[in-house]
Amino acid sequence: MKVAKSLILGSAAALLAMGGAQAADLPVKAKAVEYVKVCSLYGAGFWYIPGTDTCMKIGGYLRVDATFNGGIYGSQAWNGDIGQGNRYRDYFAARSRMALTVDTRTATEYGVVRTFAQADFQFSTLGNTTYSPNSINGSLPVAGSQLLDTPGGGYVAVEFVFIQFAGFTFGKSASAFATPWHGYPGNISSNLLGGHDTVTGVNNIQYTAQFGNGVSATIGLDDPTVFNRTAVANLSVPLTATGGIANAYAGVHAPDVVGNVRIDQAWGLFQISGAAHEVSGSYNTLNTAGAPAGGVGLPGAAPIAASELSGHPDTKWGGAVMAALQIKNIPTGPGDDIKFDATYAVGDTKQVISTSSASPSFAMFGGSSMLGAYQSVGFGATTDGVYLPVAFGGDGSIHLTKAWGIRGAFNHNWDPYWSTSLFGSYSNVSYDSTAKAFICANYTGTKVVTADYSCNPDFSVSQLGAVTRWTPVKNLTFSAEVIWFHLDQKFTGGAVLGVPAPKPATLYQYKDQDTVSLQVRAQRNF
């Protein structure tokens, strides 16, 4: 009996022990997995950052393009080696770029808090439009030589980086002066002149008020240092043979004040913009002997020991106004539209001669019909103002440059896969009579000129182009764009000029110039 009892109790203990061991071996219940959830509040592509109420979208594009008879971004052969057409010119320039955008939005009691950033990872043709060793040799103090575009290299560029909160925008964003299409009413080139372009952003603070029914108004303060200055010329410093000036702008003392009133409706858009821009010269006495290309020394218009004692011209304020119109639902087809804008500027020439980068000045060479002339030349300097100090025979006052421009495009969709845009622009730059007299006295100097020579620094530029796009699948587009560019310069006759090497110092005829460029692109958006 005792034996049986012991067996029963032992078996029960063993079962309890086994049950305890099995219980100890059971896995602990895992926490619920936080799956990424779609955020439908702000459109396609947004998702909630796990554990937060913030929505994020990551996007961008990958773009490969090449320009023939031009530079990257679709710039045309309007200056430098490519404007001369010499042996250093690159017959084509290519660029590969991936743009990465990060957009976050959070709903709050003050409205949506938004952050946005875009970084561009890109590799371009070294030298862009030139392969002159003196302009791309890293040991020489030459700016703009793209020295990171070497094997295994490349750039990271920053475009928009801003915060939006309660109607305010802080950071690097489009100017309040800009239209939604910036310098791209229908083109792919980043060099359609005739109006404003801050498509890659400018440091600013701005406030937008919404009044309902598509009516809004924005006011802002822009930092003009990078994007909204061309040049101020001290005309005691000699001009180059192609009218080039040494920049005598002073430091920035005030931001640009900009704003717009805009109406967005189903039929399209109408916008009026305005800007006020400070124009200031550095000093009356500056270095007049520029360092040679690639040489060491003070550049033209650099300060010297006597500069501060010489005084400076009084600061002036210029500005610009712009009207823009987009018309949708036109009878040529679904999705077709017309866009155009017109701008008038005084002392604010970047609002007219504008690209997504710096404003160009122009110096182009071509054939000649003048007996004895080596070639023809046409040029135009892009400035905000010019002055000639009293000590050098002038009035000491800054004379603001006037400019106006118009550009636009007709955009047509042939079917869901093919589209074409026709676009164009016209820009004019002019000086008052006093400024012209000072410029011409400086430029003509001791030059040997022909009997029919006359000096007039005014000029205009025209562009006319077409682009056709093929989108075989969604978000993949192939484009081809042709642009004709015309420089209408106002000099007549000819003169013996010491133009930049490798051109010879000899007789050149002043003449209007033309060029044509071709840009091709493949782009995948994501």
Report the C-alpha gap between 325 and 223 in whole angstroms. 26
Mean of per-residue pLDDT scores for the chain: 91
Report the C-alpha gap between 96 and 63 in whole angstroms. 6
Report the C-alpha gap between 288 and 304 in whole angstroms. 10
- Number of Cβ atoms within 10 Å of the Cβ of 439: 25
192: left (phi over 0), alpha (psi -120 to 50) or beta: beta
Residue 34: pLDDT band (50, 70, 90) is low
Residue 23: pLDDT band (50, 70, 90) is very low
Q: Inform me whether the pLDDT recorded for 6 exceeds 90.
A: no
Q: Please give the sequence-ordered ranges of beta strands (E in DSSP) within 129-201, or none if there are none.
A: 155-165, 168-173
Residue 26: pLDDT band (50, 70, 90) is low
Going 232 to 235 to 236 to 239, the CA torsion angle's sign is positive
Mean pLDDT calculated for residue range 319-344: 97
Report the C-alpha gap between 77 and 70 in whole angstroms. 5
pLDDT at position 132 is: 79
pLDDT at position 151 is: 80
Nearest to 206 by CA among 269, 265, 251, 273: 273
Report the C-alpha gap between 472 and 494 in whole angstroms. 53
The half-sphere exposure of 349 on its side-chain side, counting CA atoms within 13 A, is 29
- Helix, strand, coil percent values for the chain (each to nearest 5): 10, 45, 45
Report the C-alpha gap between 519 and 382 in whole angstroms. 25
- Strand order of the β-sheet with 494-497 is 362-366, 375-380, 506-510, 494-497
H or E element that contains 13:
helix 2-25
416: left (phi over 0), alpha (psi -120 to 50) or beta: alpha
What percent of the chain shows pLDDT beyond 70? 90
Q: Inform me whether the pLDDT recorded for 153 exceeds 90.
A: no
CATH topology of domain 37-525: Porin (2.40.160)
Q: Inform me whether the pLDDT recorded for 235 exceeds 90.
A: yes
Nearest to 473 by CA among 421, 426, 524: 524
Q: Could you tell me the pTM of the whole model?
A: 0.89
pLDDT digits (tens, 9 = 90+) for 396-417: 999 999 999 999 999 999 999 9
pLDDT at position 473 is: 97
The three-state DSSP-derived secondary structure of 194-224 is: CCCCCCCCEEEEEEEEEEECCEEEEEEEECH
DSSP secondary-structure letter at 20?
Answer: H
pLDDT at position 478 is: 98
Please state whether the peptide bond connecting residue 185 to the residue before it is cis, i.e. omega within 30 degrees of 0: no
Mean pLDDT calculated for residue range 456-466: 98
Strand pairing category for 402-413 and 494-497: unpaired
Q: Inform me whether the pLDDT recorded for 140 exceeds 50.
A: no
Nearest to 512 by CA among 382, 404, 370, 379: 379
